[in-house]
């Protein structure tokens, strides 16, 4: 079972916010459009991330991959696995 790793997500956001990061979203890669939620926008968290939090009503999956999508000011997007 793959659970979102909120500590990893926060660490990645912290590392990247000074590099032009404008938005960060969490979701299940294989079902992104139904499961993704913005968690960080305009230089602040818009979601509280703590253990047992759910993103789009989901906290884990046995088949899909929890990922973090980072969007930068130059419109570059990076998708990273973000689970434990």
Buried b (16+ CB within 10 A) or exposed e, 24-56: bbbbbbeeeeebbebbbeeeeeebebeeeeebe
Distance CA 82, CA 84 (A): 7
pLDDT of residue 51: 84
pLDDT tens-digit series, residues 55-83: 999 999 999 999 999 999 999 999 999 99
Whats the size of the chain, residue-wise? 84
36 contacts 26 by C-beta, under 8 angstroms: yes
């Amino acid at each position: 079972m793959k659970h979102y790793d909120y500590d990893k997500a926060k660490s990645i956001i912290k590392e990247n916010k000074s590099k032009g990061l404008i938005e960060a979203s969490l979701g299940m890669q294989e079902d992104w459009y139904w499961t993704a939620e913005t968690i960080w926008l305009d230089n602040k968290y818009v979601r509280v991330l703590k253990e047992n939090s759910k993103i789009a009503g989901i906290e884990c999956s046995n088949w899909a991959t929890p990922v973090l999508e980072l969007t930068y000011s130059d419109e570059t997007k990076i998708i990273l696995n973000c689970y434990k």
